[in-house]
Amino acid sequence: MKSPEFTIAANDATLAHAAAYGRIKQLRGDTKRLFERIVALDGKTSVRDGAHMVEEHFGKLVIFRDIDRLRGSRPRARWMALDATVDGGSDMVAILIGVDSYGWLVRDLSIRLAPHTVARLMQRTTKHSSLQRGADVLRHHILAVIPKATELPEGHTMTTATGAGALIWVPHKEGVRGVTWLGADTIVDRYIAKLCSEAADTRIAVHIEKTNEGAIWTRRSAEDVDGTMPMRLLLSG
């Protein structure tokens, strides 16, 4: 049974953190049951049925979908989605899910979001406990970070900025971890505020810097909103 959703005041950090941890924990349990169901079906799932199961479970947590066909000799469907980690932590993680006539594929993309980041997003931007609403805001940030996720050197930070706000990333194991969210209306740093303002609703700015040494790489781009480039990059790796 899913918990009811609720609004969160911009000054209620305690409620936002409780909501973030609670929703992530609930998502972890729901995903566990989904994959237990898939395993129990023992390969007897059609691609069409598999697609329905994934879409029904993840909803707007799907960042990008690539569905060639659901019928025919070689049906195939793939999704990039936000999920909860299964390692006992409270992070969210971007995963790649695929189903075709040969079976299922699930791959951790090593792109994580700290629960604090999710809480700040709920508190400062969506003003709501729903992970689905947060995913709408995070979509472009996830797509933009993919090309650099495995290349961010230690001691560097990466900022992705849209009109809604900025996400700060740091190296983490084999990838990156989003450690905090800055809502556009509450950003104090003038440079980051400018990046958000210039990005608006259709563009995303990516800024990489080394601690105490200033920017080493800045890129402003109109990221392809359908995610084709990031998905091709993932599938080629």
Between residues 69 and 132, the one the model is more confident about:
132
The mean per-residue pLDDT over the stretch 149-158 comes to 89
Question: Does residue 226 register a pLDDT over 50?
Answer: no
User: CB neighbours (10 Å) of residue 182?
Assistant: 24
Between residues 53 and 231, the one the model is more confident about:
53
What was the pLDDT predicted at 70?
60
Lowest-confidence segment of 29-33, 77-81, 150-154 by average pLDDT? 150-154
What was the pLDDT predicted at 23?
96
Tell me the backbone φ, ψ of residue 221, rounded to 5 degrees.
-150, 155
Question: Does residue 94 register a pLDDT over 80?
Answer: yes
What angle do helix axes 13-41 and 131-145 make, rounded to 10 degrees?
80
The mean per-residue pLDDT over the stretch 102-124 comes to 94
What was the pLDDT predicted at 7?
97
Q: What is the CA radius of gyration of the chain?
A: 18
Instruction: Report domain extents, the chain.
Output: 13-112, 113-236
What is the average pLDDT value for the chain, to the nearest integer? 86
The mean per-residue pLDDT over the stretch 161-180 comes to 94
The mean per-residue pLDDT over the stretch 175-193 comes to 94
Question: Does residue 212 register a pLDDT over 90?
Answer: no
The position carrying tokens 């609670």 is: 22
Angle at 121 between CA 167 and CA 208, to 5 degrees: 5
Residue 127 · residue 9 · CB < 8 Å: yes
What was the pLDDT predicted at 86?
78
The position carrying tokens 């009109």 is: 163
3-state class (DSSP) for residue 31: helix
Give residue-wise pLDDT tens across range 12-41.
999 999 999 999 999 999 999 999 998 888
Contacts by 83-86, CB closer than 8 A, 24 or more apart: 83/27, 83/28, 83/31, 83/58, 84/24, 84/25, 84/27, 84/28, 84/31, 85/28, 85/112, 86/28, 86/31, 86/32
| E strands present in the chain | 62-69, 76-84, 92-100, 103-113, 156-162, 165-172, 175-183, 204-210, 214-221
pTM comes to 0.88
